[in-house]
Structure 1
Amino acid sequence: MTDEREVVIVRWPGQDSSSGDGLAGLLAAYHLRTEAEKGEPVGDVDGLPLRYRAEISDPGVAFVGDVVLVALSGGAAVGCVVVTAPVGGRSEIKRLWTDPGFRGRGIASGLLRAALAHAAEGGVSRVRLSVWEWRVGAIGLYERFGFVVVESWDGRDQLVCMECAV
């Protein structure tokens, strides 16, 4: 018998307050992995830049006005994505992350699908995102959802900017 649990995607904060701790853990893992991939590894959350520590310690304040979606498996947070509040008919996808132990189960696709649906329901016509060029799997996922590379709005080296119509 397998222990395949159904994954549900909920808006955070939800009625289950335990997902808040799980969200903080997902954000911490995301930022720690990103810093390591950039060649700037840090030992723990305390070594992260202040803006990232703020997201982890209080996502409700860091993402005020935005929508945070969390994928839950058996009540545990296993993935997350942030959809920014619309500005000029456009929203941005941020922090798409799946716990490495849960990858390959369609969680990132489910989160991205839910994020795009949320944006469309909110009247957004275009969604953009940025992704590090070495995250080839993520870029492939975004392309499957209709994202295309566009001129960068961010000056950081090795960052790919993408956009799609919703």
Structure 2
Amino acid sequence: MMKKNIVFFFLIISLVISCSTDNKEDETMNDATVDLVGTWVLTDLRIDENTNDDDLNFAKQILDNFKSSDCDIVIFTFRGDGTAVSENKVNFIAENINVGAGGLSVDCPSESVTETTTWSLDGDQLTFVDSNMEEEVITVVLEDENTLIIAGEDINADNYTGADGVFTRQ
């Protein structure tokens, strides 16, 4: 009987220790940071209705085309250890535009640029630090648990001002 109590006691202690270790990691991350951890894919380009920009409208059409063919153009993966990986195919879109008898078609780029950085989130300010220790701060909005919004000017001020990049959690 005593032997069963000792085994039970050690089982309970090990369970408590393992649970408390898991909780310590979660306590060091604020709720918004925990909400951002995961993989996010660019799924939409929201254009301000007051913006009349043919380039933005064309970019939205291309993105909609990619989305309908399951082509992910920009992917962010935020890890709980403070690292992030981005995969970006945007720079290779121009190489995949085809004009033919059937009209304009844009194939999903097979090439991409992949970067690994560190990240931190303070309120709505997302900070990336690359391998050259260069820091970039952008404003993000977590619309809900599966929707992340990045202002177009934070993506590329020359090309996307007046639009928002909509990222969906995968």
> If the length of structure 2 is used for normalisation, what is the TM-score?
0.30
RCO higher in structure (CA 8 A, sep ≥6): 2
Could you say which structure has the higher strand fraction? 2
Computing the radius of gyration over CA atoms, which structure comes out larger, 1 or 2? 2
TM-score, L = length of structure 1: 0.31
